Chains A and B, each alone.
Chain A
Amino acid sequence: MPVIVIPDKCTGCETCLESCPFDAIEFRDGKAYINEYCNSCMNCLSGCPEGAIIETEPGARNTEHRQSLEDYKDVLVFAEQREGRVVPVSYELLGVGRRLSDELGARLIAVLFGAGEPEAQELVKWGADKVFLCSDASLRKFSDDVYSEMLAKIINEQKPSIVLAGATPVGRSFIPRVAARLRTGLTADCTSLEIDKETGNLLQVRPAFGGNIMAAILCPDYRPQMATVRPRVMKRGEYDENRTGEVITVQIDSTKSRTNVLEFVKEVSEVSVNLHEADIIVAGGRGIGGEKGYKLIEELAEALGGAVGASRAAIDEGWIPYSHQVGQTGKTVNPKIYFACGISGAVQHLVGMQSSDIIIAINKNPEAPIFNVATYGIVGDLFEIVPMLTKKVREVKGM
């Protein structure tokens, strides 16, 4: 372990216990001991009033490969396209990217493979100062080899300080290759990205251990600092019809792809489209109790013109099909209003919906954790509340 306890200094006061988020400190014979659960987060160093906990080799981090950080300035966003159309997460990334580059006083660069000049111009309007565009038609098809080669090359030339990509199947597949090649860190599925005021480093926050805790991650000694962001976690920036920027054409790399996509078979479920596009989602959990409860949820959704979501418990019970699942192993949604009916609010569910603008929780247990994230909380029986709500919504809407 990189963290050790100096036994002579340890007084056995147990103050450090609380500082460890991983339960990695044990007391053996009245002295603290760091066990194998240690994640080297270093929280305990300041958690010991005696200074008895230290890093084994202070400053042990290797900085030999470290790039000269000052050379790396801009923010670069990989804008993904599917079938020639830019995917929505790209605009969300431009929103974050614009904010970060303004804060750093740097430029925002977008990279687009396999789409055309009009799409590149759109990226400018969504915030990019410069777009590197390769419109070669063969790039419409995703190739790990070619995408990695081309993006790594652009990064090596442009030397951005920060690189952002969508945590989509495409981004999650080839961005790690790029990070490995560039010998730098990559943080997956960030839910918040901020510039650390003191150091200017990118502070990357992401859920860990199934969403039970949040971890703030830094990549202080290597550049670029790379991160992926799930769709619908961040808000789009401002669209400015009059914004101008430079579009630079890049040639396709001659690298031969060792993998080849023979065919793409489209299988979009109507449900997932609805969930992603709906302004209002009415979601049910184990509390809906079965078919009867499901009907109530569906009726409220219908009255509001919204979509139906579900917790995993409701899906495991077989009341609602999997495509409706919201959460860590389901969909991430970001509607204006999210109704959680009979959902306890397990972290795995919360990570999929807590960025909704307004959350309305209906639950008969006042202690349910869902109330911690709720904008409006109603403690009550959903079988009573939901049908009444549906009725009144219909009245208001004159249905």
Chain B
Amino acid sequence: MNIIVCIKQVPDTAEIRINPETNTLMREGVPSIINPFDLHAIEAAVQIREAGGGKVTVLTMGPPQAETSLREAISMGADEAILLSDRAFAGSDTWATSYTLALAIKKLEFDIVFCGKQAIDGDTAQVGPETAEFLGIPHISYIRKIDEVRDDYIKVERLMDDGYDVVESSLPVLLTVVRELNEPRMPSLRGKMAAKKAGIRKMCMTDIGADENSLGLRGSPTQVRNIFAPEVRAERKMIEGTAEEQVDNLIKELKDIKCL
């Protein structure tokens, strides 16, 4: 079984703070990590290989420094790693990212493609399904359990708002995974050694035969017009006084607006 895992290197958004004076993101010292959902995707892929054999290839589109994330994936048990990097990819939105990833995947052999549910920097959850569409294969989102994998068949549980669906699909298929699926393993010592030595395969625009007009900023249908800090509520009223007065005043306010 050939399994491809798409991973993204992201800034750890938990560490990002906004500078209240300038309304800008403060990136200094913010570590780059593998998108947390993608760790579950790597784990799932490695488990399938351990059970039935095959090969796990991790793929990322990003700047050269994303190589660190690929090596980390190898330390968790992935066999091979591909870095898709080209200046022409810069500024890609989800459409252009998926187009690019799909072209690279088409150069490889694959039965299952894994993605995380979403990336924590953009939170769009669009790249998985869009990539499946470009590949011309089915996809199942929000996988929380894998029941059965055969050569040409898979059965999984898909998390819904009000429960879960049991879904089957033919292969090849693309799956996006949620945290409930598994507990990602820590890198083993052997894994760490392998990660150090591993050769990283690099692919650029010409390697995947992309149409330049569909790449990066040029190819992206959406544009970021501007960025701003979340708003402050205008009609704020601070209730002063002793605790007792504060409570009495709040009760009065709530009565005035007919909420009590």
A positions within 8 Å CB-CB of B: 1-2, 17-18, 20-23, 36-41, 43, 60-62, 64-65, 82, 142, 144-145, 148, 168-170, 172-174, 176-177, 179-181, 183-189, 203, 207-222, 257-268, 328, 336-337, 347, 350-351, 354, 358-360, 371-381, 384-385, 388-389, 392-393, 396-397
Please tell me if the beta carbons of B167 and A371 are within 8 angstroms of each other in the complex. no
**CB-defined contacts of A374 to chain B, threshold 8 Å:** 233, 236
When C-beta atoms are compared, the residue in chain A nearest to B237 turns out to be: A376
Please tell me if the beta carbons of B166 and A262 are within 8 angstroms of each other in the complex. yes
Q: Which of B17, B220, B232 contacts A185 (CB 8 A)?
A: B220
When C-beta atoms are compared, the residue in chain B nearest to A36 turns out to be: B63
Please measure, in the bound complex, the distance between the C-alpha atom of A157 and the C-alpha atom of B217, giving whole angstroms.
29
Please tell me if the beta carbons of B226 and A388 are within 8 angstroms of each other in the complex. no
Please tell me if the beta carbons of B162 and A188 are within 8 angstroms of each other in the complex. no
Q: Which of B87, B94, B253 contacts A376 (CB 8 A)?
A: B253
Please measure, in the bound complex, the distance between the C-alpha atom of A205 and the C-alpha atom of B170, giving whole angstroms.
38
**CB-defined contacts of A65 to chain B, threshold 8 Å:** 213-214
**CB-defined contacts of B126 to chain A, threshold 8 Å:** 172, 176, 179, 186, 188
Please measure, in the bound complex, the distance between the C-alpha atom of A145 and the C-alpha atom of B218, giving whole angstroms.
29
When C-beta atoms are compared, the residue in chain B nearest to A168 turns out to be: B161
Please tell me if the beta carbons of A375 and B233 are within 8 angstroms of each other in the complex. yes
Q: A40-B90, A214-B229, A214-B230 are in contact. List 14 more A-B contacts (CB 8 A).
A: A65-B213, A142-B165, A169-B161, A176-B128, A176-B133, A185-B220, A210-B120, A214-B228, A218-B225, A257-B138, A258-B137, A262-B155, A264-B160, A392-B251
B positions within 8 Å CB-CB of A: 11, 13-14, 16-18, 22-28, 63, 65, 87, 90-91, 93-95, 98-99, 120-130, 132-134, 137-142, 155, 158-170, 173, 213-214, 216-233, 235-239, 243-244, 246-248, 250-251, 253-255, 257, 259-260
Please measure, in the bound complex, the distance between the C-alpha atom of A20 and the C-alpha atom of B95, giving whole angstroms.
25
Q: Which of A210, A217, A350, A384 contacts B223 (CB 8 A)?
A: A217
Please measure, in the bound complex, the distance between the C-alpha atom of A36 and the C-alpha atom of B253, giving whole angstroms.
51
**CB-defined contacts of A385 to chain B, threshold 8 Å:** 243, 246-247
Please tell me if the beta carbons of B224 and A378 are within 8 angstroms of each other in the complex. no
**CB-defined contacts of B219 to chain A, threshold 8 Å:** 62
Please tell me if the beta carbons of B247 and A145 are within 8 angstroms of each other in the complex. no
Q: Which of A377, A388, A396 contacts B260 (CB 8 A)?
A: A396
* A-B pairs with beta carbons under 8 Å apart, 26 shown: A2-B216, A2-B217, A21-B23, A38-B90, A41-B225, A61-B223, A62-B214, A144-B141, A169-B141, A173-B129, A174-B129, A177-B132, A180-B130, A208-B123, A210-B16, A210-B123, A211-B230, A214-B229, A215-B227, A359-B233, A372-B236, A375-B237, A380-B243, A393-B260, A396-B255, A397-B260
